[in-house]
Chain A
Amino acid sequence: MGTRGNLDFSPHTPSDETEMLAAIGVASIDDLFEPIPVHLRLARDLAVPDALSELELIEHAGALAARNKGASELTCFAGGGAYDHYVPAIVRAMVSRGEFATSYTPYQPELSQGVLQAIFEFQTMVCELYGMEVANASLYDGASALVEAVNLTVRATKRERILIGGTVHPHYLAVLKTWTSGLGFDIETIPFEPDGAVDWASVDARDAAAVVVADPNFFGRLEDLETAAQRAHDHGALCIAITDPTAMGVLRSPGEAGADVAVGEGQAFGNPLTFGGPYVGYFATKLELVRQVPGRIAGETLDSNGDRAYVLTLQAREQHIRRAKATSNVCTNQTLMAIASAVHMAWLGPHGLQRMGEICARRSGLAAAKLAEIPGCRLAFEGPVFKEFVLETPMPAKDLIGKLAERGYLAGPDLGRWYPDLTDHLLIAVTEKRTEQDVDGLAEAIEKALTER
């Protein structure tokens, strides 16, 4: 072993090793690999890059990072399920504490009260946001939360027909189809209307397990969740809402609107963009469905002295107990991201959340009005939005995105990636980080990009 890297993070001195081998009663470490057939063992080093010292490593990583352009280098108006929201300084200060970051799943509750209580508080916040009675300790992302919600409705209703709005994030729909491909569900996508939303009143939910609504939807549009829930309940189906938690300061909750299960992507609370992960899936529902909930749930109880304590509860739902009959295969989740979310939500409080939502909604309104005035551009869909909207442009959106990046703006995605008819459609997201000047700058950049072609 060269001295260059030397970062194997093992504390043993050469004499430690010799004495430990002697205590075991073997001559060499190789003797400990005796059960592995000799001819299978690797007779060479792995062909992986050589070790770097810590100093060289951080410079190398810095050089790789410097070749990328994201929300730090460009003014970010990009959306589509991942957003450049402001992460308060307190979030990173708290979740980078080793006591949180380097702890394991809280299976020994006496040593894990910190994480367990943080999860219990997180669950409460998610319930408050979504107007629900029970939330779990997190899932991987918004898409996997949707899959778990659909599986819950299938178990609860013993039906396998899923009606899903055509305005759900296309990646979520793709993930749902992949994950459930072995289960034979009948997944029907309901096309959207010219206004970019689904006409829920005309949906027939007979024999359906679930009616799935994204509100706000992939185009940013608000959907008629009340009617969708009503149509579901008319026929004994359950209603799943996919809801942006950052909207919950200004929009009525899925619970208020009648949804039975609420899921969403929690990245915007406390977690930077990070090229798509780690994010955090929120999952909440009604108490009557608690035994069908996937994944971990923290619960309150008393310890043997009668003091309040927290544990993982209803574990008989989970894979390590129920195995093939578990409600889900999920084990590792996104706890640290959930804690980041909780810190961010607690920092906001009710009024900060309201302010955050208000800036997003109002400045999106401003941006929509200004961008629609650019010659050749118009809003693709009529109707209210929360923080995203679709701009129809006289140039393929993919090309426009490239030109905007050259001018310092990150926009998109272009909807042509998923909808062959919408190649001239650009998604624009406006978070609380974007100022009126940013909006004017984007408008100017689009105008120039269009005229200089």
Chain B
Amino acid sequence: MTTSNGAPLERSSGARAGSDFPLVFETSQPGRRAWSLPEAGDSSPALEDVIPAAHRRRDPPALPEVSERDLVRHYTRLSQRNWAIDVGAYPLGSCTMKYNPKISEEAASLPGFSGLHPLSDESLTPGALELLGVLEEALCEATGMSKLTFQPAAGATGELTGLLIMRAFHRSHGEERKRVIIPDSAHGTNPASVSLAGFQAHEVRSDERGLVDLNALRDALDADVAGLMLTNPNTLGLFERDIEKIAEAMHEVGGLLYYDGANFNSIVGVVRPGDMGFDIVHLNLHKTFATPHGGGGPGSGPLAVSERLARFLPAPVLGWDEGAERWFWDEDRPDSIGRIHSFHGNFGINVRAYCYLRSLGPQGLRRVAERAVLNANYLRVLVRESFPTVYEGTCMHEFVATAKPLRKHGVRGMDVAKRLIDLGYHPPTVYFPLVVEEALMVEPTETESRETIDGLAAALNQIAEEAATDPDLLHAAPVTTPVARPDEARAARDLKVRWTP
């Protein structure tokens, strides 16, 4: 079956569905080679004269021996066994899989960016520093914050950085606070970062609206609470409409408010975390600012803070030299929490985010939020008979529906996801957030067309009908992919995490 979204994977792949696809190691032949490097000779000393025998390797590592042509075919065919934004719709909730502009790739690969050494004297990198400076100002403006660091390579490190800043802030008041509040709908990185920062995660429940339960929150608050981490809109795609009361309650006990920027694309240009009362904000540039996810990374997770917290940011930060009219690395930060990254964070990703920012401008940024929310609500309405949402009302950029009505046919959310693959779409996020049974978390993103969303909705509604009439069709799915459902329990039991001859 084809859809407006394109053909299932196997159609374009060079391999037969279900066939065994060799590992690069299995195609290796001694004596074959792709590499081409100069001679080591000239008047250089012999290897034996520079590396003592005790340090020398006897046999080189068993890397594959293949021709360059074979290698190109191997990776090209691997790529064809993979779904991607460039292939079709990718409505994974919370992940913001939207179109990644090609111009950003071209800019990031300019030799004047890609060839820069991170420890160069700043006189050699004024263009790079200016790009970062302008991006910092724009991101601070969009979040309502005052200063930021680009060191965090992804959101989770942004979280750790923000939590360490929380501790430094409380310590500057002579306080050792122990707990950080997290709603039960939060991403797993939040509690994991809290532990890594040396705090205790204190979970508070969501109420019947899917929002932070204000009473539960107030009960949890005391002078031992360092702060609250909140995603707003939250992982249910709902805006925490009590945010001002939440902020007030938190600030009353001296705690800080941390904004997890995973869902920032739904509010950019519409409302700012700083104006809601947040003190610390991380952004996922690989989400809101459209940099490619690369199969799981790289990302970029800059962390922005309000003025009273700026002195704690990781050093160095960017400074502006008024007299010389140039950006510089400000290393003189005595209250800094320290260094977070080997160098300056994922600069190449920040270049792409800058290009995206400059492509959109102020009106374009706001349209990101508008169209993301429009598309999500449109899809929500089209599928609500088959897959209702648990919480009433409009959603923001994503919604969490439930496949629970299909359970009476013996069909689970995972079956819906797998059948959707056969119909030409990447599935939504399943079984998250944990507070919804049989959760399907759907985020169409603003760059998908109405036709694509119509097609996705039709596929979902078709699946709901099939669940009643032919549930085994769903249990057997997917049948169009290079492999059928893998046995994950077996993978963990008979652990094989590297190739062996």
Contacts and interface: CB of A to CB of B under 8 A. Distances in A.
Interface stretch (B288-296, B303-311, B404-412): B288-296
Interface in B357-409: 357-368, 370-371, 373-375, 377-378, 381-382, 393-394, 396
Interface string B7-20: 00100000000111
A90 B72 contact: yes
A222 B296 contact: no
A133 interface: yes
A62 interface: yes
Q: Taking each of A7, A62, A81, A322, which has the highest tally of chain B beta carbons within 10 Å of its own beta carbon?
A: A7
A99 to B, nearest CB: 4
Interface in A264-285: 265, 272-279
Contacts of B35: 88, 347-349, 351-352, 355
Contact of B103 (A54, A182, A359): A54
A36 B447 contact: no
Contacts of B487: 301-304, 309
B56 interface: yes
Interface in A229-253: 248-253
Tell which of B107, B270, B486, B497 has the most Cβ of chain A within 10 Å: B497
Interface stretch (A14-22, A187-195, A199-207): A14-22
A125 B499 CA distance: 9
A138 B297 contact: yes
Contacts of B339: 143, 171, 174-175, 178
The 9 lowest CB-CB distance pairs between A and B, nearest first, are A182-B198, A276-B343, A65-B112, A51-B361, A336-B294, A352-B35, A98-B86, A276-B118, A114-B82
Contacts of B440: none
Contacts of B112: 62, 64-68, 70, 72-73
Contact of A32 (B115, B201, B373, B483): B373
Contact of A101 (B25, B100, B188): B100
A144 B301 CA distance: 14
Interface residues of A, number: 214
22 contacts: A8-B360, A17-B374, A24-B394, A32-B377, A46-B365, A51-B359, A66-B127, A103-B82, A110-B482, A120-B497, A124-B499, A250-B47, A272-B114, A274-B347, A275-B128, A276-B341, A277-B118, A278-B297, A300-B496, A326-B192, A331-B187, A362-B44
B167 A182 contact: yes
A227 to B, nearest CB: 11
A314 B492 contact: yes
A345 B25 CA distance: 12
A29 B87 contact: no
Contacts of B61: 125, 128-129, 248-249, 253, 350, 353
A118 B255 CA distance: 44
B63 to A, nearest CB: 5
A343 B75 contact: yes
Nearest to A25: B381
A332 B244 CA distance: 31
B81 to A, nearest CB: 4
B248 to A, nearest CB: 13
A93 B69 CA distance: 12
Contacts of B1: none
Contacts of B272: 42
Nearest to A6: B364
Contacts of A70: 111-112, 114-117, 120, 124-125
Interface in A67-104: 67-74, 76, 78, 80-82, 84, 86, 88, 90, 92-94, 96-104
A113 B124 contact: no
A259 interface: no
A248 B345 CA distance: 26
Given A8-B360, A33-B270, A307 B43 contact: no
A303 B40 contact: no
B294 A24 contact: no
Which of A51, A88, A316, A432 neighbours the largest number of chain B CB atoms within 10 Å of its CB? A51
B117 A65 contact: no
Nearest to B53: A252
Contacts of B167: 181-182
B296 A332 contact: yes
Nearest to A320: B188
Given A108-B83, A273-B114, A319 B44 contact: no
Contacts of A436: 42-44
B293 A104 contact: yes
B495 A273 contact: no
A111 B83 contact: yes
A337 B361 contact: no
Contact of A365 (B50, B111, B296): B50
A423 interface: no
A140 B492 CA distance: 25
B271 A41 contact: yes
B79 to A, nearest CB: 4
Contacts of B458: none
Nearest to B86: A98
Nearest to B87: A99
B194 interface: yes
A346 interface: yes
Given A9-B101, A12-B371, A105 B499 contact: no
Nearest to B20: A308
Nearest to B45: A365
A299 B482 CA distance: 17
B146 to A, nearest CB: 14
A353 B35 CA distance: 9
Interface stretch (A372-380, A405-413, A444-452): A405-413
A67 B127 contact: yes
Contact of B131 (A33, A64, A349, A402): A64
Interface stretch (B90-98, B317-325, B459-467): B90-98
B383 to A, nearest CB: 12
Given A117-B23, A222-B51, A248-B61, 10 more contacts: A11-B447, A16-B449, A100-B295, A102-B86, A314-B492, A322-B192, A323-B201, A324-B191, A331-B188, A347-B71
A47 interface: yes
Nearest to A53: B359
B238 interface: yes
A268 B116 CA distance: 14
Contact of B294 (A127, A249, A335): A335
Nearest to B378: A20
A78 B120 contact: yes
Nearest to B339: A174
Given A278-B348, A336-B295, A109 B486 contact: yes
A364 B113 CA distance: 27
B159 interface: yes
Contact of B345 (A112, A249, A277, A307): A277
Given A179-B160, A303-B484, A351-B33, A68 B126 contact: yes
B123 to A, nearest CB: 7
Interface in B39-72: 40, 42-47, 49-52, 54-66, 68, 71-72
